[in-house]
């Protein structure tokens, strides 16, 4: 059994956290991951700003009706001011783990900790890590640029090692392109206490908010058909009026026809938003994944079928333990 600082800190069996993916990780997936021995989470403020406190309470009620295991609620930090009532709902409901990603978490960390929650900050730069630590985060998650959804520009392993060295007293998670036992073993050997995973759970059976066509793209992917681009953010920000993403953060998604047409032509896309948005919005509405974004990362290479989240957890962690034992025993001999 893999025991790390993160399993002890969070009271979980496996050192895996499912990412709080808006539009992908609601209460059903969070329940499945927590029940399976990891930390299941759900997104609490989405880009379209359609989540409200009632939605938050419904997810929490569902999770607590199905399991007594710990779980978490996650925030795209720059979007909290658009829906502060959602943050208040999470505090009110005493969610045991609160996660922050991307923008400065300092304004929110103190209150999250005062509620009794364990706080986790996903960061994309060393400055971001230092900011989160200064603000009092309990756990850091170092995210590499092969992650699905939004991510920074740094490669995972060098960034992870720098974070582990600079903050030796904090549990550190690795995020980005981790989706099987070998990749989990690799980051644990590099000093991580666990992994924050999104892509492998986007394709889980319990990811009920994810379209079957999206899951099929992940299952069929070899991990090489994604692109890190601002194209979808330009359109989605234009549609919803969201705050801009922090500097050096963009999205990794399926490299579809729309991305191939517009990546590298971002300025022209911005200039033609009024012309393009109506057709884009209509295509998204009908689920056309050659136009709308299908977020996933390079860990799709490790997903060969739609499976229960609990099976995914057990397989990854059992394989990681096997590889770690094999390698370390061989090195000693």
Nearest residue to 121 via CA among 196, 232, 177: 196
CA–CA distance, 187 with 164 (Å, rounded to integer): 11
CA–CA distance, 78 with 69 (Å, rounded to integer): 29
CA–CA distance, 53 with 18 (Å, rounded to integer): 22
CB 108 within 8 A of CB 77: yes
Instruction: Give the gyration radius of the chain's Cα atoms.
Output: 19
Strand partners, 92: none
Question: What's 274-324 look like in SS3?
Answer: HHHHHHHHHHHHCCCCCCCCCECCHHHHHCCCCCCHHHHHHHHHHHHHHHH
Environment class of residue 330 by beta-carbon count within 10 Å: exposed (0-12), middle (13-18) or buried (19+)?
exposed
Residue 333, pLDDT score: 47
Strands 71-76 and 226-229: unpaired
223: left (phi over 0), alpha (psi -120 to 50) or beta: left
CA–CA distance, 258 with 264 (Å, rounded to integer): 12
pLDDT tens digit at each of 333 positions of the chain: 789 999 999 999 999 999 998 877 789 999 999 999 999 999 998 766 567 899 999 999 999 999 999 999 999 999 899 889 999 999 999 999 999 999 999 999 999 999 999 999 999 999 999 999 999 999 999 999 999 999 999 999 999 999 999 999 999 999 999 999 999 999 999 999 999 999 999 999 999 989 999 999 999 999 999 999 999 999 888 777 777 788 889 999 999 999 999 999 999 999 999 999 999 989 888 999 999 999 999 999 999 999 999 999 999 999 999 999 887 665 544
Identify the structural domains of the chain with CATH numbers, from first to last: 5-210+306-332 (3.20.20.70), 212-285 (no CATH)
């Amino acid at each position: 059994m893999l025991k790390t600082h993160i399993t002890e800190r969070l009271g979980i069996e496996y050192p895996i956290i499912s990412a709080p993916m808006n539009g992908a990780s609601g209460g059903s997936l969070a329940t499945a991951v927590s029940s399976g021995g990891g930390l299941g989470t759900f997104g609490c403020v989405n880009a379209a700003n359609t989540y409200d406190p009632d939605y938050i309470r419904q997810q929490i009620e569902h999770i607590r009706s199905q399991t007594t295991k710990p779980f978490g609620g996650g925030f795209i930090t720059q979007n909290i001011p658009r829906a502060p009532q959602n943050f208040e709902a999470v505090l009110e409901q005493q969610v045991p783990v609160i996660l922050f990603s991307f923008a400065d978490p300092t304004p929110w960390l103190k209150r999250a900790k005062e509620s009794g929650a364990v706080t986790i900050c996903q960061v994309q730069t060393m400055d971001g890590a230092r900011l989160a630590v200064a603000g009092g985060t309990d756990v850091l998650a170092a995210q590499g640029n092969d992650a699905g959804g939004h991510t920074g520009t740094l490669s995972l392993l060098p960034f992870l090692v720098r974070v582990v060295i600079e903050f030796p007293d904090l549990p550190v998670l690795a995020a980005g392109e981790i989706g099987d036992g070998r990749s989990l073993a690799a980051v644990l050997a590099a000093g991580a206490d666990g992994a924050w995973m999104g892509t492998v759970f986007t394709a889980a059976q319990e990811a009920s908010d994810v379209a079957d066509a999206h899951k099929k793209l992940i299952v069929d992917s070899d991990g090489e058909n994604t692109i890190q681009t601002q194209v979808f953010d330009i359109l989605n920000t234009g549609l919803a009026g969201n705050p801009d993403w922090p500097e050096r953060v963009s999205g990794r998604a399926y490299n579809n026809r729309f991305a191939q047409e517009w990546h590298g032509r971002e300025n022209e896309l911005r200039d033609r938003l009024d012309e393009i948005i109506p057709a884009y919005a209509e295509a998204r509405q009908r689920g056309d994944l050659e136009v709308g974004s299908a977020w996933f990362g390079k860990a799709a290479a490790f997903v060969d079928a739609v499976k229960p989240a609990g099976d995914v957890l057990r397989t990854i962690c059992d394989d990681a333990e096997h590889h770690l034992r094999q390698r370390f025993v061989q090195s000693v001999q």
